[in-house]
Each structure stands twice: as structure tokens, then as C-alpha cells.
Chains A and B, each alone.
Chain A
Amino acid sequence: MEAAFADATFPTVIEPDPPAPRQWSRGVPVDVTIEHVVKAFAETPALHDVSLKIEAGELVALLGPSGSGKTTLLRVLAGLEFPTSGRVLFGGEDALGLSVQERHIGFVFQSYALFKSMKVFDNIAFGLTARPARTRPSRAKIRDRVLELLDLVQLTGLENRYPTQLSGGQRQRVALARALAIEPRILLLDEPFGALDAKVRRDLRRWLREIHEQTGHTTVFVTHDQEEAVELADRIVVLNRGKIEQIGSPDEIYDRPASPFVASFIGESSALPVRIEDGRLFLDDRPIEIGATGKDGPRTLVFRPHDVELPGARPGGIAGRIIAERRHGASRRLDVEIGMRRHRIEIDVPANHPRSNKGDRVSVLPTRWWLFDA
């Protein structure tokens, strides 16, 4: 069905695509290609040159702080926003030429956007009854489909309620069922669990993963909760200020962050401004003996709180003073102030580590760390 360009010498001048047959087979997941997408609102560009390829059936998390452009990227995919420049392809076909309706995208909004004047049943049936008469399923079929979806989202029996008579978690699931009803080729979820409490979030998270495994949609979900992204997604896209900082599997993002931002946003980390001189690493004028090498110049040293050891009197550690101590999960967390410029780092020590006092001196040696160009 796709317009195939086997020609290796593809001209740089983009020819108008041949009229593509628009008979998308519903429900068959497609891959998504986003090429150099820029979206500029009045002054501030919300997306700068975003490029991304999402495989068919993949579950991808868009992770980033508030205002980083996550919603904007989803809206561009859904056709609710038109990019200032760049291309979006679904299954190799240009998607920007398609209207919102033609894209067959299931969109679950940050605030659910359920139709308040309709019962749960009619909310879920909306996308099916809205189809043109030619392709609209019969009433009985629609009914079967809605009941099946209610079963899938575990809301059987609630079809005659109005949205205001549901809890937040139930509304969330109705919104998902409504989006799934149209047999979307791509499922977009904007902070699907944003407004729910921690316990419900965890339940729904596991449940969404199961639904994804059953239905196999290409799914993009937005979150600013790193735990959610790490637990759910095949791949994570980290956005910051409209730019992609890193794309990778949860392990890659966690173990090989591409920037100090990623290291601090996914998992916890401390950063210190250091420099390499004559092949040795220095913080201010003290050497740090962690075996770092490289060209001379300023760097940022990043490590996680639990990836440290306390070398005691052995030289080469980062010397500092303890300024606070608190329980942190299974271990004890120390806030340490380093050097004249009072850099703060956080380190974890075993819970049975002897208690320390405020102002005690301590020497810290990262066992696992990253050096970034400053």
C-alpha cells in the first residue's frame, strides 16, 4: 500500500508524492518517523529540530520536565498542531497531509476530555458511531465492541454512568477505552496517570503494559515521572527545552546518560565542575584518583549517590564535610559540602554505617562515574 521509493539516488528536491491510497487498515500498528520537526509558537520554539524513529508496536516514553515540549510533540503527531517545519511519516507515508480524522490516532488527553453529557457507553462508542455510514459497524457490533472494551479496561457494568459519577482512575480507563475503540494505528497518551495517586498509578501502569502486550499498538506516552518511564517503556526519549537529549532503552539511559541533564533527570546524581590537567583529574587544586584520562580542559564529573566508596584516610578522594544525614530507603543519605566553593553532593552509605555528626570530615571516591565536556 505504501509508495515505495527504491531509487537509491533519491533527488534532494522533494517531488510531490503520488496520490497515496488512503485505505489504512485500521488497527495495524505502523512505524512513525519524525524528521527535523520544529514547532514555533508566537516567540518560543516549543520543539527544536526533533528527529525520532518509532518502530511499529513499540512502547515509547517521552520524558522531560514541564514545558519541555512533550505535549506539543504528541499534538503534532495527532494532527492537532501543525509543525513549523519538518516531516512526519506514518509507515513511510507523509502524515502531515492527513487531517486529524484521517490519521486514525487514539489520543488520551492530559485531562481525559471525556464527553460529560454522554454516558460511558456513548463515550466509548463515539468514534465508531462517528464513522461514515459506509464503514460504520452495525449497532449490535458497536455494542459488542464497547462491552468488550469495557471488559478490557475492567469497567464492566459501569456503561450507564456519566463521567462525573466516576473516580479519576475510572475516567482515565474510559478515556483509554474510547481511544482504543477506533482501532488506532498509533496510541498517544499524555500523562495518562498524572492526576492519580501513587498506588493507583502503579496499578494502572502494570495494567497499561498488559494492554499494550495484548493489543500491540504503536504507543507513545508522555510522563514526567522517570520511574513510570523506566518501568513501562521499551525506549525512552528524554526531552529538554524542546530538544531531544537522549533516546535509548531504560538501561542505556540509566547506565550511559548522554548529558548531566539526563543523569540528573533519570535517577539521582551529583555533578562537580572538574578539569583535566596533564592527564589527571582535578577538583579545584586537589587531584581525584579515579583513573580518568583525556585531553586537558574543563569537565563535569557526574556520579550517582550509591556509586561511591569512602576510602577513609587513603588519598585521592573528594574531601568534604557532612552537612546533613537522613534515612533514604534501604540506605542512609549524606549531604556533603565540597571545597571552598561549597559544591553539594549526595552519597548513600549502608544503613548500618556508624552515624556521623554535622561537620564531620569525609572522603568520597566515585566507583562509577561519567565525565562530560563542560
Chain B
Amino acid sequence: MYNDAIAPPLPMTLRPATTERRWVRWALIGVAVLFLLIFLLMPLVIVFFEAFSRGAGYFLESITEKDALAAIRLTLIVAAISVPANLVFGVAAAWAIAKFEFKGKSFLITLIDLPFSVSPVTSGLIYVLIFGAQGWLGPTLQEHGIQIIFAVPGIVLATIFVTFPFVARELIPIMQEQGTRDEEAALSLGASGWRTFFRVTLPNIKWALLYGVLLCNARAMGEFGAVSVVSGKIRGQTNTMPLHVEILYNEYLGVAAFAVASLLALLAMITLAAKTGLEWRYADEIAAQRKH
């Protein structure tokens, strides 16, 4: 029979070094879940709750009203231009950084991150400074009847600027890791540059590219700060969905504002679902690509 009083105390080191005490574990998980609920899930639920607070009829009316439809159309147009543009720029920049050695490379990488580190309002102001009526190029452009600021081109430019890093940032690490061996092999087998790109490079980066495009699209449709500076907020003409939401809200049309906002929230959820779905559906293929 063992006597509790003489049994030596269990040494602390019996517990694996990385395992916390049970209550610490539960506390950490609890804090994380609570945080997610309050700051992420609750706002999302409230958006939809508010949007339908006056019934489905009012909701439909709010999103099919003339100015709302114009805002939705403009948002789609802006995304339809800026996402493909950033797709091309992003691939080109990632290609240059990953596959060539040149001076100023690290500077270029920093530059690509610039839109992430600058406040979107500042980026918008820069465009006003360059293209605005009092700006550097403004008078010249006006002479030729080209309007950029307070017009669609300005909104597109600002959106491209703000969403530039998404595609490039996704691609650079994976392209750097893959190196140029596959491309060299394709060239030595007689393939042209284009064929090499479309048949070898593109399949190697397609998942990263798709993520980048999804994220880029979500941000392009949701961008507020930079667009708000350059748009001029002309109803039915230069209002994107986020701007339209703000205007409605400022006019005390809270429920209508939430109705349009819920569309944006829906977009975000679809983006996330698509990303997760892709990851799940093609897990094997993605893993295989990372492996080799």
C-alpha cells in the first residue's frame, strides 16, 4: 500500500512541454471564439437582420431602386476592368521578381506592398493631385475633353491602385519557390515563350492565381476610402455600392443602406466559400504542387 504522504510529488516535467493546463486551454479557446462572435459574426448577422427588418418587399425595392442599380452596375464595371488589369500586372510583376535577378528588386517588392501600407484616402488624394482640375495633368486633360477625377476612369484607377498587391503577393512566393526549371525544360523541348507560359507556368500557379483574383475582386468591389475621394459621389453616375451605402445611411435610410450592404456582405461570404470550396475540392492537387 502506498502512503500518500510519502509518495514523492509528481515532477512538473511529466506534462509535455507544449501542453497547457486544461483551464488555460479552455480559456484561450473561449476568448478566441468570443472575439470571433462579437467582432466578426455578430456584425454580419446584424447586417442581414437589419436589411430584412422591414420585410423582403422593402429589401427588394431598396436594391432595385434606380440609384442602387446604377451603383451595382458601376461596381461591376469597375471590378470587371480593375481585376483583369491587376491579373495581368500581378502576373507580370511576380514573374519579373521571381524569375529574374536585377538591381532594385527588393525595392520593387516594397513598392508592390505600398498600397497596403498607405491609407486608401491618401492614395485617392494622390490621384486628385495628379489628374484633378487643379492637379498636374488636369488642365491638359481638360483641354482634350478627358475627365478622370469625379468620373469612372478615376474610380477605376484608384481601385487598381488599391487592389494591386493581391495577385502579385499571392504569386511571388510560389513562383520564387518553383524557380525557372520547368520553363527551361519547356524551352529546350522547342516550345515558344507563349506556349511555355500557358502550358507550363500558368498550370503551376493557377491556384495561387485564383486566390489572388478572388481576394482582388472582393476588395475591388468593397473599396471605400480611395474611391470616395476620387468619385465625387454623383448619384446614379459615380456612386459605387459602398459609396451608395454611405449616402443612404447619411440620409437616415438605414434599412435601405443595410439592404445594399448585405449584398456586399454576401459577396464576401461567396468569396470565402469559393476559396474554401476550391481548397477542399482540389486539396490533393494543391498538396501535390506544394510537395515537389
A residues touching B (Cβ–Cβ < 8 Å)? 78-80, 100-101, 103-107, 109, 111, 113-118, 126-127, 130-131, 162-164, 178-179, 181-182
Contact = CB atoms under 8 A, between A and B. Distances in A.
A130 B186 contact: yes
Contacts of B186: 115, 126, 130
A107 B189 CA distance: 8
A179 B186 CA distance: 10
A111 B181 contact: yes
A211 to B, nearest CB: 18
A299 B182 CA distance: 49
Contacts of B289: 116-117
Dominant SS at the B interface? helix
Contact of A130 (B182, B190, B291): B190
Contacts of A127: 189-191
A113 B195 contact: no
A351 B211 CA distance: 67
Interface of B: 181-182, 184-192, 195, 199-200, 203-204, 288-289, 291-292
A346 to B, nearest CB: 40
Contacts of B189: 126-127, 130, 178-179, 181-182
B192 A80 contact: no
A78 B204 contact: no
A39 B167 CA distance: 36
Contacts of A115: 182, 185-186, 199-200, 203
A101 B189 CA distance: 7
A111 B288 CA distance: 16
Given A80-B184, A109-B185, A116 B190 contact: no
A163 B182 CA distance: 13
A100 B187 CA distance: 6
Given A116-B288, A162-B288, A101 B192 contact: yes
The 7 A-B residue pairs whose C-beta atoms are closest, nearest first, are: A117-B203, A127-B189, A130-B191, A113-B181, A113-B185, A107-B188, A164-B288
Contacts of B195: 130
B187 A101 contact: yes
B250 to A, nearest CB: 51
Given A116-B204, A117-B203, A130-B195, A104 B190 contact: yes
